Structure 1
Amino acid sequence: MQNFKDYFNFNKRQERGVFVLSLILIMSILLNYLLPRMISDTAPLPTQSMYLQQLATASISPKKSTYSSTSNKERLQLNITKDFDPNFVSKEELLSIGLNNFVVDNMLKYRKNGGLYYSSKDVAKIYGMKAEWHQQLEPFIKISPPKKQKIKWRKSKKTSTKEIKSKEQIEKPPPKINIYLGINTADSVALLAVNGIGPFYAGSIVKYRKRLGGYTNINQLMDLYKMDSTKFLQWKEYLFVDSVEIRKIDINKVAFKSLLKHPYVDYETTKYILNKRKSLGKYAALYELKDTDYMPDELFEKLKPYLSTY
């Protein structure tokens, strides 16, 4: 009996070991008891979460597709209820019917650059114009004939040298064969009355006039893009240089970039004019520009009408 009791006599170190083992044993029992219940209670959650996720995915996907389709239809559907003339309609009116800024700006730029809309097909050619938009716009596009304008003209020298003074005759657009237009005052609409001048060249004549500051010689039309002597001779009979105040460039004040914009002045010529101004302090007269290398006589004579020293 004494030997049996000896089995339960432990020193301090052994007591700690027995305590730890007992603690592990108790925890193992508790885990075996509690773990199945914990798994049973929490197992449905992943299943429920997955179900909800699948449900959300299944319901959102079709809606997204439907929304996209609806959105596209809304963007293509214009809100137009009344007729309009693309040659006169405002930016605000175009935006209000549902066209985007990009297309509206392109329509207005075409007009600003001298272009005219002659039919609904011209509107369809605008960059960015969708076919769906044009189909909706076409029934409402009503283009008015060009307004009668008071333009400076006289009968061709070939038919008569007598000036037309009657107010009624001046306001009435003359026949193409008899028209005689001043290229410094005629707009792109009036220029279309000349046989052989279409929208492209009518716009080009007006735009080049603005770049120059006014025409001083009929031969300057030969500088136009894609111009040739055949067209020039065809037009020359019906065009003349009417007297207007030419826009002058003050070479004592002009900035580099402003001077460079003139069609007759390139980078080297601009640099020469401004460098010489710097060395002189100020130009006293235009003839001081003359230089064999940078400002030969031919160039000087072309530029002279457009320059000033004050």
Structure 2
Amino acid sequence: MRKWLNNYFVFSRNAFNGVLVLIFLIGLMSVVPAVYDKFVPPPMMTAEERRAVLQLLASDTIKGPKRIALIDIRTLPKPEQSVAELFNFDPNVIDLAQWVRLGLSEKQAMGILNYRNKGGRFYKPEDLGKMYTINKKLYLRLLPYVRITKDSSFRDRYPEHISKQHQKVKKPEVLKLVELNLADTLELDRLRGIGAVFARRIAGYRDRLGGFYDKEQLLEVFGIDSAKYIQISGQITIDPRLVRKINVNTAQYEDLKRHPYLRYKQINALIQYRKQHGNYQDLNDLRKVLLLSEETLIKLSPYFSF
């Protein structure tokens, strides 16, 4: 290199050595930042800072470029998950940090907050199990600690979700209530918030059940969440006396197979036990069929006769 440089420039030995050192330093300065970024991680956001930002995202109050900048934190390394802490809670009230304390990930907690922000509500502890972000194991661990408060504070807590359509209900008007066990699809279609698709689903599920005995069974219809249930429930009545009964002492597989609360193995066990031990006298006899859980029996009891 020195011979090549001497063809164009005149260098002393010291000057030439100085040029080499300068070239080395320039190269080193261009490489160091890349190496530093690769081996030295950026300062990690604390759990509290991260949850505060996610809480802002869940509230939907930040929009535009600021929101995009906040969303970028999802690409940062997450702080270590703290040990789950169990305590009594109302799923309609607690914030993201409290969900995380209960053992949920930030993503799971965000899903629940978004559900609430869209008008969703938990009416009973078991509603928590309907959240797709919560698996069965976590649901069973949290269930004993769920405490649902009265509905009276719902409008104060979520005033932005009371739409104009809901405001109209306040006006003096006589609403014609529809008996859910007698209405056809045309009558159901005329109810606010239902439409033709949900009318068919409700009628179809009612036929499989044998009728509704409780309004909250509407939450079992595919696509009906808590927000839609709020919209529908005030427009309907239910007469449990209209429920179609099944005599468990004469029913065969064909009579039971379409019922949504029963599976093939349960139906078979029910029939086989009856053949071996005789007719059922009451609900306590049905408890002897091991495949029928207490929860299933409670749901089925309005449909069974002896």
Q: TM-score normalized by structure 2?
A: 0.42
Rg bigger for which structure? Answer: 1
